[in-house]
Amino acid sequence: MIFSSKNKKYFQNAKRFTPGGVHSPVRSFKGLSTTPKFIKKGKGAYIFDEEGKKYIDFCQSFGPLILGHQNPKVKKEMKKALSRGWSYGACERYSLELAEYIVQHIPFIDQIRFVNSGTEAVMTALRLARGVTRKNKIIKFNGCYHGHVDSMLIKAGSGLAGTAEASSLGITPNCAQDTLIVDLADREAVERCFSEYDDIAGIIIEPLPANNGLLSQDVNFLKFLREITKKNKALLIFDEVISGFRCSFQGMAGKTKVTPDILTYGKIIGGGMPVGAIAAKKEIMENLAPVGGVYQAGTLSGNPLAMSAGLSTLKIINDSKFYLQLEQKTQMIANALEKWLNENHEKIGSEYKVISSDSLFWPIPLKPEERNPQTIDELPKELMKPFDIFYTALLKKGIYLSPNPYEVGFVSLAHTEKVIKDLEKRL
């Protein structure tokens, strides 16, 4: 076999057995002039493909691996858990310990319920908000991603303020009608929704929108959402699936001191295993079954192996110094990438700015001195073409970014200064 064609061969084969060859669309490298790499193993900040090529990994499983691959402490705890058994469908201590640890360290939540993904967490949070308020409509922002929940795969419609239509096939018009879409940072649009509709159960937002690039919001906008929901007896949901345990241990809610009624978690909370969670004050949480009338369940929820990965990860990162160091390293990485992008702007076809926030970074085709975008309307129209050029070039150099121009880069504990030196050498 020709050595360099292994990744391509596996991808050809994968396309026979699964749609597009992938189990989640973004992995398909759609729109890129290169095909996906098949990853054989990961260690620290690095991943290795089936051809033996080594990459610095800035995707880190799209965020969960805040300690990098195979953190020794997490691995040790997981092995211990594994040696006892890995699923009972019964009460067990790992899920108790993780719940207790989180509630003890996040003052604005009393209770938490574990599920298996961020999508599931959002689905339950929306049902809970509707169950508590006995109202139906949810306000969602253009440019925020909340997983593949039917009522969240919705885009702005052409009619009145807030009207919406499905952004995927297979979603009923009735479902789409229960979601109102408004632009980020647009207070008037939110006010208009509340004056036009009286059955708004809640507002859901990524407090740090990080799924359409980085669209950082003013804290005052989050405060405004807190006030208007309170005034209208609706609930505020912070989807902290990316920002939770990343922007600070207490997520954006802790960092901004804006306290939502319901929070959703995912990604880091499972330390790389499939875990999501819904959290809130007890008065809200106890509306969930078996105490309350909002039904929710899961055969594998609170799986002890996943709980041990989450617990050991959270214990390591629960330290303000950890976050400060991660942020400093992220700025160094963003600077190095921005410098390289702008030295090569003629080949790439655009100047670039690399925005960073906490341990996330995002290359955007703007002049470095231009303003950071806050809404999707402010994004440059052509992202794919220049992205393809630099993405392919970086991949050749052994630098692996999330394979889509709208995805952010993730920095972990394993991205040490030595790794940053390696990055600078590879650039």
Ligand X SMILES: *Cc1c(COP(=O)(O)O)cnc(C)c1O
Is 123 among the residues that bind ligand X (CB under 6 A)?
Answer: no
Which residue, 268 or 423, has its beta carbon nearer to ligand X? 268
CB of residue 18 to ligand X, shortest distance in Å: 17
Distance (Å, whole) CA 355 – CA 215? 10
Q: How many Cα atoms sit within 13 Å of 59 on the Cβ side?
A: 21
Is 119 among the residues that bind ligand X (CB under 6 A)?
Answer: yes
Is 311 among the residues that bind ligand X (CB under 6 A)?
Answer: no
Whether 239 is catalytic is yes
Catalytic: which of 239, 261, 358, 422?
239
Is 146 among the residues that bind ligand X (CB under 6 A)?
Answer: yes
CB of 400 closer than 8 Å to CB of 55: yes
CB of residue 40 to ligand X, shortest distance in Å: 23
Is 239 among the residues that bind ligand X (CB under 6 A)?
Answer: yes
Whether 329 is catalytic is no
Both tokens of 234, joined, read 């609706």
CB of residue 275 to ligand X, shortest distance in Å: 9
Q: Is 104 exposed, middle or buried, given 0-12, 13-18 or 19+ CB atoms closer than 10 A?
A: exposed
Whether 295 is catalytic is no
Residue nearest to ligand X (CB): 118
Estimate to the nearest angstrom the gap between the alpha carbon of 21 and the chain centroid.
Answer: 23
CB of residue 180 to ligand X, shortest distance in Å: 18
- Binding to ligand X by CB under 6 A, coded x per residue (else -) over 150-169, reads --------------------
Within residues 276-295, the interface with ligand X by CB under 6 A covers 276
Catalytic: which of 55, 145, 265, 406?
145
Distance (Å, whole) CA 412 – CA 268? 11
Near ligand X by CB under 6 A: residue from 7, 60, 117, 303 = 117
Tell me, by CB under 6 A, how many residues bind ligand X: 14
CB of 356 closer than 8 Å to CB of 330: yes
| Cβ atoms < 10 Å from Cβ of 111 | 18
Near ligand X by CB under 6 A: residue from 266, 272, 363, 409 = 266
Near ligand X by CB under 6 A: residue from 55, 114, 141, 145 = 145
| Polymer length in residues for the chain | 427
Is 211 among the residues that bind ligand X (CB under 6 A)?
Answer: yes
Near ligand X by CB under 6 A: residue from 21, 147, 213, 365 = 147
Check whether the bond before 403 is cis (ω within 30° of 0).
Answer: no
Sheet with 137-142, edge to edge strand ranges: 111-115, 276-280, 262-265, 235-239, 200-205, 137-142, 179-183
Tracing tokens 């405004």 back to the chain, one arrives at 224
Which residue, 239 or 388, has its beta carbon nearer to ligand X? 239
Distance (Å, whole) CA 4 – CA 2? 6
Give the orientation angle of helix 304-317 with respect to helix 93-105, to 10 degrees. Answer: 30
Active site residues: 145, 239, 267
Residues within the interface to ligand X (CB under 6 A):
117-119, 122, 145-147, 206, 211, 239, 241-242, 266, 276
